[in-house]
A and B are shown apart, each in its own frame.
Chain A
Amino acid sequence: MRKRKTSAWRSAAAVCALLLTAAGCGSGGGDDKGGHAPDKLGKGEGKVNIIAWAGYAEDGSNDPKVDWVHPFEKKTGCQVNTKTAGTSDEMVSLMKTGQYDTVSASGDATLRLIASGDAAPVNTKLVPNYKDIFPALKQQPFNSKDGRMYGIPHGRGANLLMYRTDKVKPAPDSWRAVFDDSARYSGHVTAYDSPIYIADAALYLMRAKPSLGIKNPYALDQKQLDAAVSLLKKQHKAVGEYWSDYQKEITAFKGGDSVIGTTWQVIANLTKAEKAPVKTVLPKEGATGWSDTWMVSAKAEHPNCAYKWLDWIVSPKVNAQVAEYFGEAPANRKACAETSDPNHCAIFHADDEKYFQRVHFWTTPIKECLDGRKDATCTDYAQWTRAWTEVKG
């Protein structure tokens, strides 16, 4: 009896050891983090796996009139598999699996993907449409490193304030409505469910509490982060629910469960299409926002098709279609001539750098203060994540 027991333990130990070695194998990595950009392209591999924001890779299944995936498949022979991601964090973790070729990453994910070596530098010469991208989007701190581009800019937009016109009066023009005045809509305020939303509170504090000295909502030292967190905790009392899934926000605004909160223009458009009385506004404090970049995985199995997709998605006509469907400023200058609404680029301030100076694009918070302060240590994304769990309590 005793002997049998030991042998069972021994085999259990052997299994554990086996599992440990198997688990350890994945961590080996070379020095050339991120791989290399190709010098020339070959034939398409017949397939491309992409991670996209909802609305970025429409194949007609949401609306038969909105389809730029099938024309791409027909033209290039590359079958598109789309995985829609809800948050930047999800995009980062999906890219780590190595099963995807390209991703429409926002500025709060790009640097993380570059630093972890999951995204490869992009040879912009192999993307003919790159030359027509607005210069203000090229070589930005959130899409390049050491002078090398890590993707193709896709478009940009602001995180706007949305409200029900029948329930929120007078019309708000400041983020104060969801922070210091949030008690007025208690139980019906909504906010974006991600640690990066802390920047929205910091942005409001830049104006509301200048004594804190916040210069950049993504560069917060401990004191400034604490102030943002206590503001968010106050807001938490009035929040009905947090959203990260855009469908959830649409139904909440449609049913009146949410009456005021942050949104993207595409969500506002879809909510209006469902006959809900909503409006959006860019508050006077400005807003946080996103500038998206199509990046290529360092482990891409279908790099040729991925490059074809990069060139396709920023080609004037398709970029115009996406920009209009999603409600954002296109990245391609020539797209402005292709939009069905000739004023689209004017409405979304595509080339209006003054406007986008009011928009603080998502950037990953890091220890070295992004606002250039040398005498302070800033809080990084891990700290923001923990703070966010605490805000939600």
Chain B
Amino acid sequence: MPAAPTSGSRLRLTALLAPPLLWLTLAYLGSLAILLLSAFWATDSFTSDVVHTWNTDNFHELLTTPVYRTIALRTLSIAAAVTVIDALLALPMAFCMARVAGRRWRRPLLVAVLTPLWAGYLVKAYAWRVMLGEDGVVGAALAPFGLHGPGYGTTAVVIVLAYLWLPYMILPVYAALERLPERMLEASADLGAGAWRTLRSVVLPAVRPAVLAGSVFTFSLSLGDYLTVQIVGGKTQLLGNVIASQVTLDLPMAAALSAVPVVLIVCYLAAVRRAGALDSL
């Protein structure tokens, strides 16, 4: 049992923790608080100046205008689709890296997965804009099969976001699979389980928290994204775009709108927490 802290060491601990805690409350949570507060203000419709009169009109409009519901649902389904796709891609990839490939290959494969993270976000999104364009690589590759590329739109957004956030899903799953004791797989085989049975009853339960942790990244990053939509989304409108276009004209409305992804994320985190994915964090 550790000794009770003396008053000197407690002072030092306080001094050590004070700056980051101050940062967390003032700069980090404070800015969020200000944002949410401004959702209760109004805007002068002509000058776009913020008028500091307390009201809930913005939230009322948010909840009663059908177009906002449509946009919120569209954003939610895109984030969900991106998460599912990334999980389906990451599981076999991470399994290959951690279990199938030899020890020598693990590091190069890991670097290969990480490399795209080092390239700029815009570069990658614009690369996809070129590839998905009317005379782009994707269309040309599909043409011999009589197929057409997806063009710009919702499908393109899902593809590009799934591409952008894939490493955030692979890494936790890889880490979980690498930690999985070899003995458990052997025991499963000794008990007569085939590859499928082992995957279903041993591997998947073991990586479930990792997949859920990765999904927090893919889901929240997709919910808040607006650049990819601008670049390859065609005429698709997501929450991020509406917020971005309102910020310049109607800050309080933009603030009210940004409460939507915050609420969605909080709900998602609560659900994931119940599933036990955050215990290992």
Contacts and interface: CB of A to CB of B under 8 A. Distances in A.
Interface of A: 12, 15-16, 19-20, 23-24, 27, 87, 89-90, 92-93, 96, 111-112, 115-116, 187, 236, 239-242, 245, 248, 251, 255-257, 364, 366, 380-383, 385-386, 389-390, 392-393
B237 A389 contact: yes
B248 A89 contact: yes
B151 A115 contact: no
Contacts of A23: 34, 37-38
B107 interface: no
A382 B45 contact: yes
Nearest to B133: A255
Nearest to B44: A116
Given A19-B33, A255-B133, A382 B250 contact: yes
Nearest to A93: B248
Contacts of B178: none
A240 B152 contact: yes
Residue among A111, A115, A392 having the largest count of chain B Cβ atoms under 10 Å: A392
A240 B45 contact: no
A24 B25 CA distance: 19
Contacts of B44: 116
B152 A257 contact: yes
B58 to A, nearest CB: 12
B135 A115 contact: no
B46 A115 contact: yes
A276 to B, nearest CB: 11
Given A93-B247, A389-B237, A255 B45 contact: no
Contacts of A366: 46
Interface of B: 25-26, 30, 33-34, 37-38, 43-50, 52, 65, 67, 70-71, 129, 133-136, 151-152, 230-231, 233-235, 237, 242, 245-250
A16 B33 contact: yes
Contacts, number: 99
Contact of B26 (A15, A24, A27, A187): A15
Contact of B152 (A111, A116, A241, A393): A241
Nearest to A237: B235
A380 B43 CA distance: 13
Given A255-B134, A382-B249, A389 B46 contact: no
A87 B245 CA distance: 10
Given A385-B245, A392-B235, 5 more contacts: A23-B34, A239-B235, A240-B151, A248-B231, A382-B250
Given A23-B37, A389-B67, A112 B48 contact: yes
Residue among A96, A248, A386, A389 having the largest count of chain B Cβ atoms under 10 Å: A389
A116 B26 CA distance: 30
Given A116-B49, A380-B45, A390-B67, A385 B250 contact: yes
A19 B67 contact: no
A83 to B, nearest CB: 13
Given A15-B26, A390-B67, A393-B67, A92 B33 contact: no
B30 A257 contact: no
A20 B70 CA distance: 34
A225 to B, nearest CB: 14
Contacts of B249: 89, 92-93, 381-382, 385
6 contacts: A24-B52, A90-B248, A92-B48, A93-B249, A383-B45, A392-B237
